[in-house]
Amino acid sequence: MLRLLTLCVLICIGIEALNVENLLKSSNSELDNLNGVPEGTKKTLRLAKQVYLNLNKSHEHDFKQFFTFVHRHKREYADESTLKSRFSKFQLNLRHIDQLNKEDNLATYGVTKFSDLSSEEFIKQATGNILGDKSSHSSSDELTSVKGDYNYPKNFDWRTDRGFQPIVMDQGLCDSSHVFTVIAIAEGSYFRTYNVSVKFSEQQVLSCMENEGCSGNTIENSLKNILDEGVDYADDYPYTNWDSPTTQACIKDKAQYGVINIYRVLRDQPEEQIKQWLYWNSPIAVIIDAKLIQHYKKGIIGIKQPYDCSMVNHGAVIMGYGENEPGVPYWTLKNSYGTNWGEGGYFRIVRNQSTLQVNCQAAYAATSKGRN
């Protein structure tokens, strides 16, 4: 009975419970019997075994990590040349991860699902937000006024303090973070007005914008699209571009629900001002420099960089703020890389030092009753 239970655990857990070195030296039949692994990934693992047999011993430790990475993230490489190229990039990333962990004592960096991509490939394939030219707004209507002299709480989060629990999505290979950020703040503003959680359709905004959504866009254009055209529920218009860089054609006859009627997009704002907007209005869409989040695992990103808004490339959503036990102030941001990235799909950065260029551009929105 114990033997059967042990076998079941090994099969159910997968390669993490097995000896990678033994797998690399065993027959292909053991790879073929791995549970839950696509045939394309099994083919890649067989290629990896052949490469390993001729590998310089100085690279063996790194290659075992790479082998595990291929299995865990179901990678499929077309041929041996591609596999070797990806392993080379994986190795460079391992060295970069070591350096980041030395530089940043507040966060932990490690192997993620992006660890076989160069920094340039990561930015090109997994971001998608373009900085707008200037501050903009939808109308002369005022959003909820902020109170600079208000006694703001030390810690605040829309999830725990207001009950707004948005779904963490995965944008996949599509450069569409601009859509995920504005949908999140539309959902947040709707929740603030109606106290109801809804899931709106990223795919509809992505497909029905005038330009190619998977090539990136601005927060302003995405918000204006929702304001002018409305948006459907995600159940009726689900996201499909997570595995394709080609935008799905717009379906014109889908229902359109107006969900915001006011928005603000502002440049170069003090982080204290962003905190006040967050507290009184809705979650805040921001554009960041995403390079440091490629290898992020957990903790508070604290590496300082010169303030340079030309470096921003990715959208995220500020959901809360706080201080850790030593008193380091931080932002909590929602990302669009799925729940298997970061802290359940979220990440934290040091507040009040323009970490990741977080205050280059910020946007928030409001929903009036009767707008649904």
Q: Based on the domain organization, do 46 and 125 belong to the same domain?
A: no
Q: Based on the domain organization, do 76 and 204 belong to the same domain?
A: no
pLDDT, residue 104, reads 98
Q: Based on the domain organization, do 91 and 123 belong to the same domain?
A: no
**Backbone φ, ψ for residue 362 (5° rounding):** -135, 150
* Helix (H), strand (E) at residue 301: strand 296-301
- Domain C-terminal end among 106, 136, 171: 106
Strands 346-350 and 296-301, by their bridges, are parallel
HSE (side-chain half, CA atoms, 13 Å) at 240: 12
Spatial distance between the Cα atoms of 188 and 32, rounded to a whole number of angstroms: 46
- Domain C-terminal end among 56, 79, 106: 106
- pLDDT tier for residue 35 given thresholds of 50, 70 and 90: confident
Q: Average pLDDT for residues 53-81, to the nearest whole number?
A: 96
pTM for the whole structure: 0.90
Q: Based on the domain organization, do 170 and 60 belong to the same domain?
A: no
Residues that are catalytic = 314, 335
DSSP codes joined into one string, 309-324: GGG--EEEEEEEEEE-
Instruction: Give the CATH number, domain containing residue 133.
Output: 3.90.70.10
- pLDDT tier for residue 38 given thresholds of 50, 70 and 90: very high
pLDDT score of 255 more than 90: no
pLDDT, residue 336, reads 97
Residue 271 maps to a domain: yes
Per the model's pLDDT, the better-predicted residue between 14 and 185 turns out to be 185
pLDDT, residue 212, reads 59
HSE (side-chain half, CA atoms, 13 Å) at 260: 30
- pLDDT tier for residue 42 given thresholds of 50, 70 and 90: very high
- pLDDT tier for residue 14 given thresholds of 50, 70 and 90: very low
pLDDT score of 102 more than 70: yes
Spatial distance between the Cα atoms of 308 and 355, rounded to a whole number of angstroms: 11
Residue 112 maps to a domain: no
- pLDDT tier for residue 209 given thresholds of 50, 70 and 90: confident
Q: Which residue has the tokens 């082998």?
A: 67
Spatial distance between the Cα atoms of 327 and 356, rounded to a whole number of angstroms: 20
pLDDT score of 257 more than 90: no
Q: Based on the domain organization, do 41 and 72 belong to the same domain?
A: yes
Residue 244 maps to a domain: yes
- Domain C-terminal end among 106, 139, 159: 106
Q: Based on the domain organization, do 210 and 319 belong to the same domain?
A: yes
pLDDT, residue 134, reads 56
Stretch among 251-260, 275-284, 339-348 having the lowest mean pLDDT? 251-260
Residue 92 maps to a domain: yes
Residue 226 maps to a domain: yes
Residue 113 maps to a domain: no
Both ends of the chain: CA-CA distance in Å?
58
Q: Based on the domain organization, do 136 and 241 belong to the same domain?
A: yes
Q: Based on the domain organization, do 146 and 287 belong to the same domain?
A: yes
Residue 306 maps to a domain: yes
Q: Based on the domain organization, do 38 and 140 belong to the same domain?
A: no
Q: Based on the domain organization, do 124 and 98 belong to the same domain?
A: no
Q: Based on the domain organization, do 146 and 175 belong to the same domain?
A: yes
Q: How many angstroms separate the Cα of 119 from the Cα of each of 83, 289, 354?
A: 18, 12, 21
Q: Based on the domain organization, do 130 and 53 belong to the same domain?
A: no
pLDDT score of 328 more than 70: yes
What confidence tens digit (pLDDT) does each residue in 131-154 have?
Answer: 866 555 554 454 555 666 789 999
> 60 is in which domain, residue-wise?
2-106
Work out how many domains the chain is built from and give that number: 2
pLDDT score of 106 more than 90: yes
Residue 140 maps to a domain: yes
